Amino acid sequence: MIFDSVLMATLAAILLTLAAHVIARVLARKLSWLPMVITALILVLLFLFILQWDYDNYYRVAKPVFDHLLGYVTVLLAVPLAAMNFKGLPIKKLTLIVIIASVVGALLPMSLAYLFSLSHDTILAFATRSVTTPIGLSVADLIKAPLAMANLIIIVSGLLGGMLARFLFRGIDDDRAKGLALGLAAHAFGTVEAWQISHTAGRYAAFGLAVNGLVTAVWVPIFISTFGI
């Protein structure tokens, strides 16, 4: 598929992506076990194949728009946080959980990358694994990790977390635990899946994503510079 102008190509990319999202959302409501993010991704690839639209061309026009919107979406996660009722919540325990998740989420993949003798840049990139893309890329820039590698690690970990969550949560009835786990482990992708579970799960996922991102953005650069990693 060839477009006469960049504007037309950009509009087509936005419409195609939104159509994939809407269809995936409808399917997720009918089939609760179906991860919405994965479905939307598959639909985008299917649409591109049907339209004979080269992925590189689609990506080139879609990326600037959605990269720009991604920052706003991350900030808008403050809305469900503001709607949360913190009265009676074990704030100290939640804070401790987030801190532990932040430390483990960065140091564990870095340690595994070191054990597998991966490059120094790759080890640094794994420090961003547990935070959402805008924050992760900012952290990667501060610690001089390769942005492309960090972006890939964040996206793949989020996709895997969102895809496996429904299976891992079998036997767990507490939506608060589900949401917090998704927000901490699978950041934005997990938060999307959490909202498909319930509003409670979505709010807790947003809490986990936001606070984990804030904590990680503070301690990881300090840790890397202090120990000269």
- How many angstroms separate the CA atoms of 78 and 71, rounded? 12
Q: In three state form, how does the secondary structure of 54-111 look?
A: CHHHHHHHHHHHHHHHHHHHHHHCHHHHHHCCCCCCCHHHHHHHHHHHHHHHHHHHHH
Q: Is the pLDDT of residue 115 over 90?
A: yes
Mean local confidence (pLDDT), 115-138: 88
- DSSP per position, 169-189: TTT---HHHHHHHHHHHHHHH
Q: Is the pLDDT of residue 111 over 90?
A: yes
What is the pLDDT at residue 134? Answer: 78
What counts of helices (H) and strands (E) characterise the chain?
Answer: 10, 0
What's the Cα-to-Cα distance from 219 to each of 25, 113, 158, 216, 228, rounded to whole Å? Answer: 36, 20, 21, 5, 14
What residue type is assigned to position 16 of the chain?
Answer: L
What is the pLDDT at residue 108? Answer: 92
Helix, strand, coil % over all residues of the chain, rounded to 5 = 80, 0, 20
- How many angstroms separate the CA atoms of 168 and 178, rounded? 10
Q: For 24-56, how does the pLDDT look when each residue is reduced to its tens digit (9 = 90+)?
A: 888 877 776 677 777 888 899 899 899 888 888
Q: Residue 3 carries which DSSP code?
A: -
Helix or strand (DSSP H, E) at 17? helix 6-30
Q: Answer whether 149's CB lies under 8 Å from 121's CB.
A: yes
- How many angstroms separate the CA atoms of 14 and 64, rounded? 11
Q: Residue 128 carries which DSSP code?
A: G
Q: For 135-161, how does the pLDDT look when each residue is reduced to its tens digit (9 = 90+)?
A: 888 888 888 899 888 888 888 888 888
